[in-house]
């Protein structure tokens, strides 16, 4: 039986209060429109959301060539102030990818240069890494790939690891990985597509530590036919020597949603991945989220589909429990076309929850806000890119807006058992509990305790309850922000049948209560004696004997754990006077 309790008076005030997302500073826009369709405004954000970067491709001095430029901004508490001067790329440059380190002081830029006059393909491409010296951005490293197409790039949190997807192997694709050893960049491996023409590396993302990598292959045929492209994603783990596959290949659906893997994301902790379809491809309104369980990637919650509009971008928070999903073509509540919407979901009790407070709409017709989306590690800040202007997408002006909100005190905490296990356990048995904390964007920190039956069970701060003595225990999970908000669950502790069947003659502990010495009636099958405090702390191992001296211990309740020769365990409550 499950018991859920919380303070109604306090919860009522919380239900009435809902914190909205508030814009930080001014909108950051390109100087003018970019008619170069391929540049839809690559953008980046530091882990705390206080540094942002935006790329701009525009007509330069030549009417045939495009120039590229990157601007970086820091939030001063009121406005966005530019950090250093622009980083410029001249003559036919398209800036395809931006990545900022967690502290916002290292920037990686993926670029391509094309010959628009003769259409000779790529003249130059590569990745440049810049570091901020407090005044300006200094070139730190240039990975020059010549005429090879760069597909995508990714860096880890401190910019010590970089992954570069390229077409050195043609449309099969490959991903090159490097690690900075303090003086140079050393190759840690190269990964290759397993099928011809599957564009292995079309989209990639590294975890925070840089030892887990997800790679999207939208033209992978998977188990489909010759003309179908279900797409797929691969996850790799670096073991210190080589990159190895982590879990299974994750395949798309060749019929309803092809080109799966055109866009991928991984949570900074490397345990959760999001896989979807690139906005430039058909059926872009589809995305799935998976979480690693052992060596298998299991689907987390329901699929994300094109409700309201196709999905244009998505990004996971640090622990993978919150995701921001951009839909740039959505219409707002007033019926204004193309404002765009960004929806911020939280994973609660096996479902992705979305509330009205976590929907951010663009403000003007054809703002297309949500074209690009980033979310901070703590999920309190999001950057939303758009392309405002006329209906003609090519004539729009790229912009960035940054929004921030805080978490709220929970209104409800529900406790259940992991995997719907029984709430009855044997003495000595452990049981994992889990919580559902509402509403979305509530503080998740909890304090576990026992409100009744402290002699019957113990609980640690990971939510693992241990049976001590037969009886009933009430387990409580309280919000760390307010002890008035809590949930409770009843746990029944039963006698361990394996122990009771084995030891037909019960062992007697006497006198109990005691002021000094306790006696044990029979020790012939006992392997180990351990004395624990009531809170579960181990106090002493005893040499197996018929008499135990407790004279040096203060008055109170203790647990004597008896381990038998066959490995079974029994617990006895001791009262010290």
According to the model, what pLDDT value does residue 42 have? 85
Choose among 186, 223, 188, 194: nearest CA to 206: 188
Confidence band of 100 (pLDDT split at 50, 70, 90): very high
Average pLDDT over residues 132-140: 97
The answer, yes or no, to whether the previous bond of 439 is cis (omega within 30 of 0) is yes
Closest CA to 223 of 244, 250, 191: 250
| CA separation for the pair 241, 88 (Å, rounded) | 37
Task: State both tokens at 434.
Answer: 């889990």
Given this model, what pLDDT does residue 307 score? 76
Q: What is the pLDDT of residue 495?
A: 80
Q: What confidence category does residue 498 fall into, taking pLDDT thresholds of 50, 70 and 90?
A: low
Helix (H, G, I), strand (E, B) or coil at 570: strand
pLDDT at 370: 93
Query: Each residue of 521-532: pLDDT tens digit?
Result: 888 888 788 888
Q: How far is residue 49's CA from residue 22's CA, in Å, rounded to a whole number?
A: 13
Report the pLDDT averaged over residues 394-418.
90
pTM of this structure: 0.79
Q: Mean pLDDT throughout 8-14? A: 34
Mean pLDDT of 68-84: 95
Q: What DSSP character marks residue 497?
A: H
Distance CA(105)–CA(280), nearest Å, equals 31
CA distances (Å), origin 524, targets 497, 501, 505, 545: 20, 16, 12, 10
Phi, psi values for residue 306, rounded to 5° = -90, 40
Mean pLDDT of the chain: 86
Each residue of 238-284: pLDDT tens digit?
999 999 999 999 998 766 778 899 999 999 999 999 999 876 665 56
- pLDDT score for 505: 56
pLDDT digits (tens, 9 = 90+) for 347-356: 998 899 998 9
Does position 119 have pLDDT exceeding 70, yes or no?
Answer: no
In the block, tokens 């004597």 appear at 560
Answer left, alpha or beta for residue 147, where phi above 0 means left and psi between -120 and 50 means alpha.
Answer: alpha
How far from the centroid of its chain's Cα atoms is residue 158's Cα? 17
Q: Is the pLDDT of residue 374 over 70?
A: yes
Res 121: pLDDT: 56
**In the chain, what are the domains?**
20-404 (2.130.10.10), 410-494 (2.60.40.1080), 499-576 (2.60.40.1270)
Of the two residues 543 and 104, the one the predictor is more confident about is 104
**Rounded to whole angstroms, how far apart are CA atoms 223 and 137?**
47
Question: Is the preceding omega at residue 552 within 30 degrees of 0, hence cis?
Answer: no
């Amino acid at each position: 039986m499950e018991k859920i309790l919380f303070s109604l008076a306090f919860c009522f005030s919380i239900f009435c209060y809902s914190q909205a997302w508030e814009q930080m500073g001014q909108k950051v826009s390109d100087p003018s429109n970019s008619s170069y369709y391929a540049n839809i405004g690559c953008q980046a954000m530091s882990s705390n959301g206080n540094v942002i970067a935006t790329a701009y491709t525009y007509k330069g001095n030549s009417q045939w060539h495009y120039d590229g430029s990157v601007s970086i901004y820091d939030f001063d508490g009121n406005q966005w102030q530019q950090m250093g001067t622009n980083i410029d790329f001249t003559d036919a440059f398209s800036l395809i990818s931006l990545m900022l380190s967690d502290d916002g002081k290292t920037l990686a830029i993926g670029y391509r240069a094309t010959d628009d006059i003769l259409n000779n393909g790529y003249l130059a491409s590569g990745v440049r890494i810049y570091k901020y010296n407090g005044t300006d951005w200094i070139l730190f490293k240039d990975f020059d790939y010549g005429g090879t197409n760069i597909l995508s790039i990714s860096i880890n949190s401190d910019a010590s690891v970089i992954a570069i997807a390229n077409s050195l192997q043609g449309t099969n694709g490959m991903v090159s990985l490097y690690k900075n050893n303090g003086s140079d960049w050393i190759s840690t491996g190269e990964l290759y597509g397993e099928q011809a023409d599957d564009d292995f590396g079309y989209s990639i993302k590294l975890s925070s530590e840089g030892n887990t990598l997800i790679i999207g292959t939208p033209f992978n045929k998977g188990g489909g036919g010759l003309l179908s492209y279900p797409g797929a994603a691969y996850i790799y783990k670096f073991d210190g020597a080589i990159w190895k596959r982590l879990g299974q290949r994750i395949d798309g659906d060749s019929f309803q949603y092809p080109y799966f893997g055109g866009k991928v994301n991984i949570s900074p902790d490397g345990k959760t991945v999001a896989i979807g379809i690139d906005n430039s491809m058909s059926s872009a309104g589809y995305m799935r989220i998976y979480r690693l369980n052992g060596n298998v990637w299991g689907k987390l919650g329901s699929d994300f589909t094109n409700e309201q509009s196709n999905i244009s971008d998505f990004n996971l928070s640090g622990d993978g429990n919150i995701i921001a999903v951009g839909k740039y073509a959505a219409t707002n509540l007033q019926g204004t076309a193309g404002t765009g919407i960004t929806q911020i979901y939280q994973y609660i009790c096996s479902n992705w929850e979305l509330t009205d407070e976590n929907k951010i709409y663009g403000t003007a017709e054809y703002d297309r806000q949500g074209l690009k989306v980033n979310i901070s590690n703590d999920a309190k800040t999001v950057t939303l890119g758009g392309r405002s202007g006329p209906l003609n997408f090519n004539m729009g002006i790229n912009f960035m807006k940054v929004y921030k909100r805080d978490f709220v005190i929970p209104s409800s905490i529900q406790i259940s058992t992991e995997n719907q296990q029984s709430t009855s356990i044997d003495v000595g048995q452990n049981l994992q509990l889990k919580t559902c904390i509402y509403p979305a964007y509530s503080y998740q920190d909890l304090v576990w305790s026992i409100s009744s039956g402290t002699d019957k069970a113990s609980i640690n701060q990971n939510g693992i309850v241990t049976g001590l003595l037969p009886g009933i225990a009430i387990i409580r999970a309280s919000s760390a922000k307010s002890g008035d908000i809590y949930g409770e669950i009843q746990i029944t502790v039963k006698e361990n049948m394996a122990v009771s069947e084995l030891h037909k003659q019960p062992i007697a502990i006497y006198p109990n209560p005691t002021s000094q010495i306790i006696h044990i009636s029979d020790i012939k099958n006992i392997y180990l004696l351990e004395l624990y405090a009531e809170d579960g702390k181990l106090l002493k191992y005893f040499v197996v004997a018929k008499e135990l001296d407790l004279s040096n211990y203060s008055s109170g309740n203790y647990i004597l754990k008896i381990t038998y020769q066959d490995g079974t365990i029994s617990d006895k409550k001791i009262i010290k006077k």
